[in-house]
Chain A
Amino acid sequence: MTTPLLTVDNLNVGFATKAGIVQAATEISFQITPGEVLAVVGESGSGKSVTALALMRLHPGNTVITGDVMFEGRDLLKMGDAEMRSVRGREIAMIFQDPMTAMNPVFSVGDQIVETIRVHDRTVSKSEAWTRSVDLLEMVGVPEPKRRAAQYPHEYSGGMRQRAMIAMAIANEPKLLIADEPTTALDVTVQAQVMEVLQKVREETGSAMMLITHDLGLVAGSADRVQVMYASRLMETATVDEIFYESKNPYTRALLESIPDVDGTKTELHPIPGNPPSLLNTPVGCAFRPRCSMAVEECAKSTPVLTNIRGQHSSRCHRVDDLAPLEAWSS
């Protein structure tokens, strides 16, 4: 096995509030190898984004973080601020969810890319960086890149803006891209194009990606491995195929059942009943228990642990062995 690029070990993220500590990420451990795409899937508030922000140390001031985040042998959580800044944007870059607000309205798109290049390397002259940014815009499929580089974000459409965000993220050829729901704010037709661009630039720069999403369709098309999160914990982690065909976790299965099947017979959709639990003072036991169709008494007594099933496939459930094999999941 290749040496991992990023190793997260027992990461806990909590927010101190007046009512107590809100545990947003609990005992998260995972690895990303170079060039790999890891998808992190889960409902809103399951801790996906919080985990990503904690890796980048972009969390708000009242956050309590414990654990180790090793990136190429260096612990990101124990780094000095200056060293951390040199990692952000150069080693690890981030693509944000909403391209409408993630660009500074008073600078042209080209200028913003120039800025990301020159933050890390002052030896690049402004005109060199400008030429680079035009090239980058061309690479992500912005038409007439020379003219568009001098335009302002408000003159771009949503899809174009997200392309520009990608150009900005890969400007310094980072080893790891964190894409936080990169297509959520976009039109469905544009989503596919943007994902294509993301795949293309990732292949060209050879960077790994942590793709945060709640769209399983997106995962099927672009990820190598999947990590399912629920109520601040990892529920299941496996390769894409294992998730879709051999899932060993009731929550993952419930998620799969809630996807409409486009070309199959018209069967009823199965939404997951109820709501995710509050993350404030979570009780013992499995967090998914109240919504789980397979819950038994034991689920209320103790929190299940993430147990390895086979290879890289792990699941957090007391009844792993009782789960029936998944019916063939077509398409």
Chain B
Amino acid sequence: MTTLDPDPDVDEALDDAAAARALSDAEGLSDKPKSFGRLAWERFLGHRLALVGAIGLLVLVALFWIAPMFSEFEFDERDVRNRRLGPTAEHWFGTDEIGRDLFVRTAQGGRYSMRIGLIAALVATTFGTLMGTLAGFFGKAWDVLVNNLVNLILTVPAIIVLSVFANKFGASALGLALVLAALLWTRIARVVRGVILSIKEQEYVMAARAAGASNSRIMFRHLLPNVVGAIAVEITLLVGSVIVLESTLSFLGLGVKPPNASLGTLVADAKGDIDSDPLRVLTPGIFIVLIVLCVNFLGDGLRDALDPRAKVADNQNSKKAKRAAKKAAKELQRTAPTMGVGDTTVVGAHARNIVSDRNDEESGGRP
């Protein structure tokens, strides 16, 4: 790691949002426009896929963390009389070859996968963002250093490194997450470096400097907030990658150690029974896909929500607006002939609108 002096600006950036909120509370929202947080929230709500993702994740969290409390079984509790059961009232997902309850095991695996995905993505993002920012902002030696480090890591065959280190540290979720993060921060670093390179020449950076801001202040307070949108997407993609990688490693027997389970080991355990009981393979597999999908949807929405230039929910209304316009035009066509003579100009204007509407529709398909 790099040795950076602890910087008050970083802390300040963090508690800034809180301060802004307190401020808007203190003054009341009466004659102020909506705060950034509120606008972001509205944009987020207007993003249908993101909502689906967020709700999906909440459901999954409830399923993995809360639902097992209502099950009477432990994840490593064997019951040799009830082996390889299909779904029953007692065993919701059935049992495995030594009679362990598969629902509880799936929930445990899901918890493990989500936790590891989150930790690894956070660590990789933090480190990657830091390295990318330093490389992009300072250039020169920093850029060379970071670029070569990234290239080095990208040229190393990931699966070999992973199998060696995951075998050594993979027993704990944190260990495995750190190993994965050590490989995956490069992607974030590259994205952040690119964004920083493009925005650091903007005049507002010069303006900040002219106002007396130091390098670290410019980096953390002026540049990083502009990178958040790009990071929001990357971080969710990263969560997906981590979960898939972790499943792969666990499937190969390199990640989580028995009797603990992850979604990957559950698939691995069931692979022998795929002919007789395909559901056992499919269930954990489907959960992997669900988690990754939900997280990606969420990231998409976050990126749009965190962009202050975006308008509220403007992505869903164009179709609706078109439909409404068409309806209005039809309505007019019906009512126009019955209007009085004095309304001719109005009618004329409406007629023009209707015609131009039609023209739009006709030329819609052509360039």
- For chain A, the bracket of interface size reads 35 or more
Cβ of A147 under 8 Å from chain B: yes
In the complex, the chain A residue whose C-beta lies closest to that of B15 is A126
Cβ of B169 under 8 Å from chain A: no
- Chain A 285-302 interface 0/1 with B at a Cβ cutoff of 8 Å (1 = within): 000000000000000000
Closest chain-B Cβ to A89's Cβ sits at a distance in Å of: 4
In the complex the two chains form, what is the Cα distance from A56 to B206 in whole Å?
A: 11
Residues of B with C-beta under 8 A to A87: 212
Cβ of B202 under 8 Å from chain A: yes
Residues of B with C-beta under 8 A to A165: 207
In the complex where A85-B213, A94-B207, A98-B203 touch, is A105 in contact with B308 (Cβ < 8 A)? yes
In the complex the two chains form, what is the Cα distance from A105 to B213 in whole Å?
A: 17
From 196 to 231 in chain B, residues with beta carbon under 8 angstroms from any chain A beta carbon are 202-204, 206-214, 217, 221-222, 225-226, 228
In the complex, the chain B residue whose C-beta lies closest to that of A149 is B32
In the complex, the chain A residue whose C-beta lies closest to that of B205 is A104
From A33-41, A150-158, A321-329, the one touching the partner chain is A150-158
Cβ of A284 under 8 Å from chain B: no
Interface size on B, residues (CB 8 A): 30
Instruction: Out of A85, A101, A126, A127, name the residue touching B202 (CB < 8 Å).
Output: A101
- Does B26 lie within 8 Å of A120, measured CB to CB? no
- Does A93 lie within 8 Å of B207, measured CB to CB? no
- Does A104 lie within 8 Å of B208, measured CB to CB? yes
In the complex the two chains form, what is the Cα distance from A103 to B206 in whole Å?
A: 10
- Chain A 81-105 interface 0/1 with B at a Cβ cutoff of 8 Å (1 = within): 0100111111001101010011111
- Does A106 lie within 8 Å of B225, measured CB to CB? yes
Instruction: Out of B26, B210, B226, B309, name the residue touching A94 (CB < 8 Å).
Output: B210
In the complex, the chain A residue whose C-beta lies closest to that of B36 is A108
In the complex the two chains form, what is the Cα distance from A10 to B211 in whole Å?
A: 26
In the complex the two chains form, what is the Cα distance from A324 to B303 in whole Å?
A: 67
Cβ of B33 under 8 Å from chain A: yes
- Does B23 lie within 8 Å of A126, measured CB to CB? yes
Cβ of B35 under 8 Å from chain A: yes
Cβ of B31 under 8 Å from chain A: yes
- Does A119 lie within 8 Å of B225, measured CB to CB? no
- Does A146 lie within 8 Å of B211, measured CB to CB? no
- Does B309 lie within 8 Å of A105, measured CB to CB? yes
- Does A58 lie within 8 Å of B202, measured CB to CB? no
Residues of B with C-beta under 8 A to A58: 206, 209-210
| B interface majority secondary structure | helix
Closest chain-A Cβ to B305's Cβ sits at a distance in Å of: 13
Closest chain-B Cβ to A280's Cβ sits at a distance in Å of: 23
Residues of B with C-beta under 8 A to A127: 23, 26
Most buried by B among A89, A119, A150: A150
Residues of A with C-beta under 8 A to B19: 126
In the complex the two chains form, what is the Cα distance from A50 to B26 in whole Å?
A: 45
Cβ of A215 under 8 Å from chain B: no
Cβ of A230 under 8 Å from chain B: no
Most buried by B among A93, A101, A165: A101
Residues of A with C-beta under 8 A to B203: 96, 98, 101-102
From 99 to 117 in chain A, residues with beta carbon under 8 angstroms from any chain B beta carbon are 101-108, 111, 115-116
The 9 A-B pairs with the shortest beta carbon distances in the complex, nearest first, are A89-B212, A89-B211, A94-B210, A101-B203, A88-B212, A102-B203, A116-B211, A102-B207, A106-B225
Q: Which A positions have Cβ atoms within 8 angstroms of B?
A: 56, 58, 82, 85-90, 93-94, 96, 98, 101-108, 111, 115-116, 119-120, 126-127, 130, 144, 146-147, 150-152, 154, 165, 168
Complex A-B: 5 CB contacts under 8 Å: A96-B206, A147-B31, A150-B33, A154-B309, A165-B207
Sample of 14 further A-B pairs with CB below 8 A, known A104-B226, A127-B23 = A85-B213, A88-B211, A93-B210, A96-B206, A101-B203, A103-B204, A104-B225, A105-B226, A108-B36, A111-B20, A146-B31, A150-B24, A151-B33, A165-B207
